[in-house]
Amino acid sequence: MADRPEHPYIRVIETYYDGCNTADVAKMVATFTTDVVHYFVDHAPVSGAEGLANYWAKVGPRTAANWAVDHWLVDEPEAVIEWSMRWQPPGADSSEVLRGTEWFRFREGRIAEIRSYHNNVHLQSPANRALHGFDYAGRGYRTE
């Protein structure tokens, strides 16, 4: 998004994505609070800086995943992005692009929480319509 100045949060997110793209655990850990939590629509949350970095270092290379930030907005202490991920689904002959959005909460300049939303055709399930393990009621979200 060259048409406006970049925000420090976006630099942190891009560093995190670079760590994901290269399976660089130390680079990812440096962007997280120690108690970071990543919520997903298709499986249980992953917690802790080391745990989350090791998760992506293991999962990303399996599918040749490569993430990019396509669009962003910041309203401190949060940032929201649209992303694209080039990847090769298991059993597929070629790569494809998956798009989604993530909401980030920051604390002291580091990522404290990630809420990831996407609709992956390969993971279709009625259970994948909300973040797994997220306390919607406790955060004041509509629950019925």
Cα separation, 87 vs 72, whole angstroms: 21
User: What is the largest distance, in Å, between two alpha-carbon atoms of the chain?
Assistant: 44
Question: How does pLDDT run across 98-124, given as a tens digit for each residue?
Answer: 899 999 999 999 999 999 998 765 556
Give the three-class secondary structure for 66.
strand
What's the confidence (pLDDT) of residue 57? Answer: 97
Of 11, 10, 3, give the one whose Cα is nearest residue 73: 10
List pLDDT tens digits, range 54-92.
999 999 998 899 999 999 999 999 999 999 999 988 888
C-alpha span between 42 and 34 (Å, rounded): 23
Architecture label for domain 8-119: Roll (3.10)
User: Taking the model in full, what pTM does it have?
Assistant: 0.88
Domain boundaries along the sequence of the chain: 8-119
| Nearest Cα to Cα of residue 81 among 52, 106, 47 | 106
Spacing of C-alpha 100 from chain mean position: 9
